Amino acid sequence: MSYPKDFLWGGATAAYQCEGAWNEDGKGLGEWDEFSHKSPLNLNGATGDISSDFYHRYKEDIDMMVAGNQNTYRFSISWARILPEGRGEVNPEGIDFYNRVIDYCLEKGVVPNVTLFHYDLPNTIALQGGFANRDTVDAFVEYAKICFTAFGDRVRLWCTINEPKYYAYCTNMVGNYPPNHRQDFNRFFKVVYHEALATAKTVAAYHEMNLPGTIGVVHDNSNVELAPQTKEKELIKLRGDLFYNSMTLDTALKGCLPASLLLMMQENGFDTSYMKFEDSIAFAKGKVDWLGLNVYNRFYLTDYSEGETEVFHNNLGARSKMKEGIRIKDWFETTDDPTTHRNLWGREIYPQCMYNTLVEIRNTYGDIPVYITENGHGQYETADENGYVDDQPRIDMMQSYIDQMYKAMEAGCNVRGYYAWSPMDLYSWVNGYEKRYGLVRIDFDNPDLPRTPKKSYYWFKNLIADYFTNKAGR
């Protein structure tokens, strides 16, 4: 059936970006607390100390989702709220908080989709090297098992790690996320590898516990497409996929690392000594039940031209003309498609990537269930005197991506759900509160943090109603 009756429609958030309560009820320090409080690289000084205050207002926010016809909510657990020191003693108040959120979701008919790690390590773990340190793999599995034991009777959808590659990329290549390493390929690959291993071991541990749910990993969609002028088409496509996709997707979906990735790394002098032969058993045993895709853009590549390796990233929005991309010496470089537009942060808006990636994933990895775990549009916003925002560009953007998702479902892709990033305004990594994504406005200048649905909230509500009236079960 192309359009399932039990399709999930909802929104996604991450703990650091919406909870606030950064030092309440026994929570330990996270790496983002440290970064946002102390780093000169925190460009606008914003923090997640209070953010949307979801910690205290979760009922109001979940009520708003329900009133908007949403039947699922994707959120992440703050590792440092459960284990303030990263390992060892559990914080019972942290467990209580997520119990309250999960129970309230279930009471309201909302399916919780829970991510174990969304960018924010406990600071103690970060200080020991984070995912660049193999010990973090074991620490992560311990933490995951605590969550499975506490919440696994009620949570049916689990995700290990949000965007392992993008997290590794921002922390080690762009350098805009803590610990802010720049163009450190060795650390980049090592972090993605250990995240893949942590995913595999956690998936295996979850399956061994025989709980009544399923577990996946969330990848930042990275389908590689080639500019027509590209000369070495097969090579650039292969290198692009190895760099952006295969450590996460091949390990999670096929249960192994591709040999060509190791050859590419070794031929280019990268360290692979941390990869252990025995890990292949962990990968084989740790295949996920479903794949989450955060769909924003594609990677549009062509042959390497000249110059040193350089990462292009725009954290300044309209204050910069920088277009997002990368040039990797002797490998490939990203390029511009003159027919597409970019958002004010220099990221390409390309709805067709939704269809293209879903079809490519099915062709490469088979009939795996896929959830679109994030899709949304960041923009500057001004509210009218009633706090209302007419965010038509967001509606246009999301509708065009959803149309492409429908097209892929018609073509037989096994899509099971769609999550808007984000159900309400929240903190945007490095861009703070300037860059808005929410379907519901939060006035962060008002200490009461009042919520006001935007135009897109009503559009999404009607779209969901229309799906169940006109599409589901067809």
Q: Identify which of residues 152 and 376 has a Cβ nearer to ligand BGP in the complex.
A: 376
The piece of 24-32, 108-116, 143-151, 421-429 that touches ligand BGP (CB under 6 A) is 421-429
Binding of ligand BGP by 375 (CB under 6 A)? no
Q: Which of 163, 195, 225, 333 is catalytic?
A: 163
Q: Assess 220 for contact with ligand BGP (CB under 6 A).
A: yes
- Which 120-179 residues touch ligand BGP, going by CB under 6 A? 162-163, 166
CB 96 within 8 A of CB 135: no
Establish if 381 lies at the interface with ligand BGP (CB under 6 A).
no
Distances (CA, A) of 92 to 65, 78, 88, 96, 117: 27, 13, 13, 6, 19
Distance CA 65, CA 243 (A): 37
Q: Residue 429 interacts with ligand BGP (CB under 6 A)?
A: yes
| Stretch of 142-150, 379-387, 427-435, 439-447 contacting ligand BGP, by CB under 6 A | 427-435
Q: Determine whether 31 is an active site residue.
A: no
Q: Is 294 in the site for ligand BGP (CB under 6 A)?
A: yes
Q: Token pair for residue 153? A: 């009777």
Structure tokens at 384: 């009218």
**Smallest separation, CB 43 to ligand BGP (Å):** 12
Contact present, 322 and 346 (Cβ < 8 Å): yes
State the DSSP string of 385-402.
Answer: TTS----HHHHHHHHHHH
* CA atoms of 236 and 74, how far apart (whole Å): 35
Which tokens hold the place of 201?
A: 């071991």
Q: Minimal distance in Å, beta carbon 299 to ligand BGP? A: 14
- Whether residue 224 contacts residue 298, with contact meaning beta carbons closer than 8 Å, is answered with yes
What is d(CA 411, CA 211) in angstroms, rounded to the nearest whole number? 33
| Residue 374 in the binding site for ligand BGP (CB under 6 A) | yes
The minimum distance between CB 403 and ligand BGP, in angstroms, equals 21
Least separation in angstroms between residue 279's CB and ligand BGP is 26
Q: Which of 225, 374, 381, 434 is catalytic?
A: 374
Contacts of 27 (CB under 8 A, 6+ apart): 21, 78, 80, 81, 84, 91, 94
163 annotated active-site: yes
Q: What is the DSSP string of 305-331?
A: -SS--EEE--SSGGG--PPPEEEETTT
Smallest distance from ligand BGP to CB 222, Å: 11
> Which range of residues in 194-202, 260-268, 277-285, 426-434 is near ligand BGP by CB under 6 A?
426-434
The footprint of ligand BGP (CB under 6 A) covers 14, 17, 162-163, 166, 220, 294, 374, 378, 421, 428-429, 431, 435
